[in-house]
Chain A
Amino acid sequence: MELDFVLNFYKHFGQDSIVLLYAGYFNDFVLLNTTDIIKKYDIEEDFEKDKIKMIFLMIEAFQNVIRYADIEKSDFSDLIGRFFLARKTNKDIFIATSNLIEKYKKQDLKKRLDDLNSKNTDQLKELFLEVLTNKEFSDRGGAGLGFIEMRRKTKIQLDYFFDDINENLSYFYFLTKLLNNKTENSFIKMNLDDFKQIHHDFSKNKVVFFIKNNFNEETINSVLPVFQENLKDLSKNYQKLTYHLMLETLQNISKHAANIQNKKDAVFLLSKHDDCFEIASGNLIRKDDIEYLDNYLKELSGMQKNELDIKFLQRLVDADTDRIGGLGFIEIARESKNFTFNFFDYDQNYSFFTFSVKIDF
């Protein structure tokens, strides 16, 4: 992955207070840990009401993907077949999903969504109660109840689009929005084309998880469990190593990202390539800190394993440990020499520091 990808999406989501993007194994365990990240987001006091709505929409959209994605019918990897995005930008919330479906299901799905979009509040309520109490629909699966509820709760039409990829399969793109911001032009309004582009860019870079958030200990504790499912097929040692490096990377952000207006706004992502996992992070740092960090990382990259071990022990007793990337970077370098970093000019006071480490399978 090119490190400017990290910068580009930090900028792309510049006005978002939180962004979550996930691809891979979809199940309730991942969903709960993903919603947990939102539950623990407590930066904005007036978010409580919409937080509940956001979590509700996340659950319904995510569980629709669990139920209806026809991933097993394709030759595609899990990475491409199921995709989830949740954004909060100013007071607006966007939840989007993409999943593969068999082509013959398109017409029925289109009919149902068009029907929902054409109904007014009373008609939607009538339909909701009808579906809810109709025994015919009481088998496993939602019979569209999730769609009905998302339409009712947001009071906005549900956006969707089908993109045929071969003779049997289509991508089903879905977007639901909770719009509170009245000043239409001041803030970003995501549409389906934006979402398709995001899906394309992230799939191309094999990203399985991306988060933009305020980073603190709570964030780290809720981010880490999300990956358990994507690592479970790998050996215990590999899982442990990946976990360790993710933890160190996340803690580096939490400790050392620039604190601007009481927020350590940063991005963290994990991508799954054919031969490795790649962990990457990006955060603003003060320009004064660049020289030290640049020299420090260059020094670490030139060291042998035994030199790093000695350096680690020295650092343990060094009073300067809290200086940028003290022990964390040494730990990462001891486990994988395959790391890269860069500094991008951001504004007068800050630069954007990106760091990436690969862990070969």
Chain B
Amino acid sequence: MSENYLHIEPTDSTPDVVFDRANKLFRISGDILPENSFDFFDPIFSWFSNYKKNPDDIIVIEFSINIINTSSTRRLVSFFKLLEEIADNGSKITIIWAHLPDDEIMQYTAYEFGNAFKKLTFQTRLK
């Protein structure tokens, strides 16, 4: 982990995470379903809390999540709140939410997040 780069290797229950400022790549892809979601999210919060001090003007974060449990949904909400704080300081933040065509759950989750976090722009696309 560095100021400009974070990579978290995926496991069976957690996704691949890449935050790469140099290449403007912010991506979370895979399943998020650990019973204890704190261990997974802590380094992400830690990295973004630092990033918040000097964020990019335009931020695009891609989520490609197959399944997420409610414990992790709660952490994700905290993450979006943190992003809204960054947006308050002038950054334009877009969330690209990719889901499978048959996945009504992920599609609806994006819709609800979009309604709950108006300072972030949510775009869905099919995987």
A contact set with B: CB distance below 8 Å: 27-29, 31-32, 48-49, 52-53, 55-56, 59-60, 63, 66-67, 125, 128-129, 132-133, 137-138, 140, 142, 145-146, 148-149, 153
Nearest CB in chain A: distance from B12 CB, A: 5
Nearest CB in chain B: distance from A361 CB, A: 30
Residues of A within 8 A of B73 (CB): 132, 145
Chain B residues with a Cβ closer than 8 Å to the other chain, count: 24
> B35 an interface residue at 8 Å Cβ cutoff?
yes
Bound form: Cα–Cα A59–B72 in Å: 12
Bound form: Cα–Cα A149–B108 in Å: 12
Contact with A along B64-75 (1 / 0, CB 8 A): 000101110110
Given contacts A132-B73, A132-B74, A133-B116, contact A59 B105 (CB under 8 A): no
Say whether B70 contacts A146, CB under 8 Å. yes
New contact pairs (19) apart from A133-B81, A140-B38, A142-B70, CB-CB < 8 Å: A28-B34, A49-B102, A49-B103, A52-B67, A52-B100, A52-B103, A55-B67, A59-B69, A60-B70, A63-B71, A125-B112, A128-B112, A132-B116, A133-B77, A138-B74, A140-B36, A146-B69, A146-B70, A148-B70
Bound form: Cα–Cα A27–B13 in Å: 12
B12 nearest CB neighbor, chain A only: A32
Say whether A27 contacts B35, CB under 8 Å. yes
Residues of B within 8 A of A53 (CB): 104-105
Chain B contacts with A in 24-59, Cβ cutoff 8 A: 33-36, 38
4 closest A-B pairs by beta carbon, nearest first, are A145-B70, A48-B102, A49-B102, A63-B35
> B123 an interface residue at 8 Å Cβ cutoff?
no
Bound form: Cα–Cα A149–B78 in Å: 18
Nearest CB in chain A: distance from B111 CB, A: 11
| 12 A-B contacts (beta carbon < 8 Å) | A32-B12, A52-B106, A56-B69, A56-B105, A60-B69, A63-B35, A132-B77, A133-B116, A145-B70, A145-B71, A146-B69, A148-B70
Bound form: Cα–Cα A55–B68 in Å: 10
Residues of B within 8 A of A145 (CB): 70-71, 73-74
Chain B contacts with A in 88-127, Cβ cutoff 8 A: 100, 102-106, 112, 116
B37 nearest CB neighbor, chain A only: A140
Nearest CB in chain A: distance from B106 CB, A: 8
Partner of A129, one of B12, B36, B103, B112: B112
Residues of A within 8 A of B38 (CB): 140
In this complex, the member of A59, A67, A125 whose beta carbon has the largest number of chain B beta carbons within 10 angstroms is: A59
